[in-house]
């Protein structure tokens, strides 16, 4: 029988329901949005945080912009680890409220009272994105429930905030399911500007240089000059003032395996000049597509290990890059699942993926390869070396740190497994271990 587990999704990755009828309000039904009166009523309900709207389960299907995809995680847990509804409890939460809202705390307590009535220390917390902050806020409110947990497995947690939330509040973003439009950028902006959890997610560490206001590195909570000064925006100042305090960086209470991605289009910085926020072009190396790597890897603790996972095209994944929403999808991550859920022996973690844009661009002279090479505790492998053949020539490249970007000449991909593909292998070795052989593929047309 698998270890009991809870799953807490990110923001805004839980359904919202009408408390009286049970009808799903979010994600909205496209038919409701075609009727102007029904659309207005829906936006009013989602924006004002009335008592007759309650959280439903985590959203299980991928939605462009919002990007939750819990179903793929549930599939992994059920297929490979034997989970069912009695051993895995997903906890939806009302993302319009604080990450520490009484309702959310009560939902987590209820799940733990079911899975661990004796607080026997056997529960695994599986957390995605803002779900990590919800978890820490819960432990602040209910420290006695710490005894329920054995380990924590996290994916892309914005431990020190994310610019994605600030961008959503300031600019909005159109929301769609596949090709079906749901909400315009102005519609989503109205909803998210009224969501307390969005402000709880703003960058909170000035030393990360994510938010530069009038030439000074600060945070959008400490410097609110970006919020319009008119009385109509007083509600935003109130929400910013009520943002949950930054959590301590140290977390020594539980073993944490923290999966941190880089290689997805992520805002590298936001600048405020005279009240106008500017976001430069997203940077592939800044983070996982939503959370900056520096924020995802910020947590420290006696038994916290940061496991960097490259985002890009994996040769054994059907060349489908996964970003923040599905950091658990690459098969190499199954190694970490095994260690947490099955008590498999901890061992070095080595992974590599081709840049999600360059691997399909036949005009690119080089393809960036993102490689992680860490020991069982997330520390850089000693004297790690990358080796490969460029034609007949053997090439060696030493590592510097736990992760490396290497711009591979496109001509090094000489094997042809299919008419429109080229393949090569790299080898990673280190003092006392390896080599680990990793295949890489690119598209030629």
Tell me the per-residue pLDDT of 413-445, one tens digit each, with 9 for 90 and over. 988 888 888 999 999 999 999 899 999 999 887
Q: 3-state SS of 207-226? A: HHCCEEECCEEECCCCCCCC
Helix (H), strand (E) counts: the chain? 11, 24
pLDDT (mean) for 139-150:
97
Question: What pLDDT does 68 receive?
Answer: 55
Q: Is 160 a residue whose pLDDT tops 60? A: yes
Average pLDDT across the chain, whole number = 92
Complete DSSP assignment for 299-349: -B-TTEEEEEEE-SB-GGGTS----GGGTT-SGGGHHHHHHHHS-PPP--E
More confident residue, 108 or 364: 108
Positive/negative CA dihedral, 290, 100, 200, 22: positive
Residue 157 pLDDT level (bands cut at 50, 70, 90): very high
Tell me which of 43 and 3 has the higher pLDDT: 3
How many angstroms separate the Cα of 422 from the Cα of each of 178, 306, 355, 418? 30, 32, 15, 7
**pLDDT for the residue 65:** 46
| Residues 287 and 296: beta-carbon distance below 8 Å | yes
267 and 279 in contact (C-beta within 8 Å)? yes
Count of C-beta atoms within a 10 Å radius of residue 222:
14
Does the global pTM surpass 0.85?
yes
Which of 26-40, 104-118, 122-136, 225-239 comes out lowest in average pLDDT? 26-40
Nearest alpha-carbon partner for 275 in 187, 213, 207, 196: 213
Is the pLDDT at 332 greater than 70? The verdict is yes
């Amino acid at each position: 029988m698998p270890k009991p587990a809870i799953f807490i999704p990110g923001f805004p990755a839980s359904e919202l329901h009408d408390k009286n009828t049970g009808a799903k309000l979010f994600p909205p039904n496209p038919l409701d949005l075609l009727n102007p009166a029904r659309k207005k009523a829906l936006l009013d309900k989602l924006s004002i945080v009335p008592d007759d709207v309650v959280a439903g389960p985590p959203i299980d299907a991928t939605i462009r912009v919002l990007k939750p995809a819990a179903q793929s995680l549930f599939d992994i847990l059920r297929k490979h680890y034997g989970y069912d509804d009695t051993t895995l409890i997903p906890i939806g939460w009302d993302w319009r409220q604080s990450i520490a809202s009484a309702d959310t705390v009560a939902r987590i307590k209820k799940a733990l009272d079911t899975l661990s009535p004796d607080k026997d220390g056997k529960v695994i917390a599986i957390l995605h994105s803002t779900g990590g902050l919800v978890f820490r806020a819960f432990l602040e409110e209910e420290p006695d429930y710490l005894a329920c947990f054995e380990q924590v497995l996290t994916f892309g947690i914005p431990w020190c905030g994310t610019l994605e939330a600030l961008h959503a509040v300031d600019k909005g973003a159109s929301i769609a399911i596949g090709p079906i439009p749901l909400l315009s950028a102005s519609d989503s902006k109205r909803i998210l500007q009224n969501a307390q959890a969005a402000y709880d997610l703003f960058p909170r560490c000035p030393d990360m240089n994510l938010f530069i206001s009038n030439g000074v590195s600060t945070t959008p909570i400490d410097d609110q000059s970006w919020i319009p000064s008119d009385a109509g925006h007083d509600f935003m100042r109130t929400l910013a003032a009520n943002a949950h305090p930054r959590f301590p960086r140290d977390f020594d209470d539980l073993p944490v395996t923290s999966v941190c991605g880089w290689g997805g289009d992520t805002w590298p910085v936001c600048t405020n000049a005279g009240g106008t926020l500017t976001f430069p072009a997203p940077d592939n190396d800044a983070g996982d597509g939503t959370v900056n790597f520096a924020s995802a890897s910020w947590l420290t603790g006696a038994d916290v290990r940061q496991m960097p996972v490259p985002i890009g095209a994996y040769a054994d994944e059907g060349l489908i890059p996964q970003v923040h929403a599905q950091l658990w999808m690459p098969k190499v991550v199954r190694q970490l699942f095994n260690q947490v859920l099955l008590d498999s022996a901890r061992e070095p973690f080595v992974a590599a993926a081709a840049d999600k844009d360059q691997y399909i661009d036949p005009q690119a002279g080089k393809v960036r390869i993102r490689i992680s090479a860490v020991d069982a505790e997330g520390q850089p492998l000693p004297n790690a070396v990358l080796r490969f053949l460029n034609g007949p020539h053997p090439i060696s490249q030493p590592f510097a740190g736990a992760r490396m970007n290497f711009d591979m000449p496109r001509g090094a991909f000489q094997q042809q497994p299919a008419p429109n593909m080229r393949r090569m292998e790299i080898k990673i070795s280190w003092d006392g271990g390896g080599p680990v052989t990793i295949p890489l593929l690119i598209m030629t047309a």
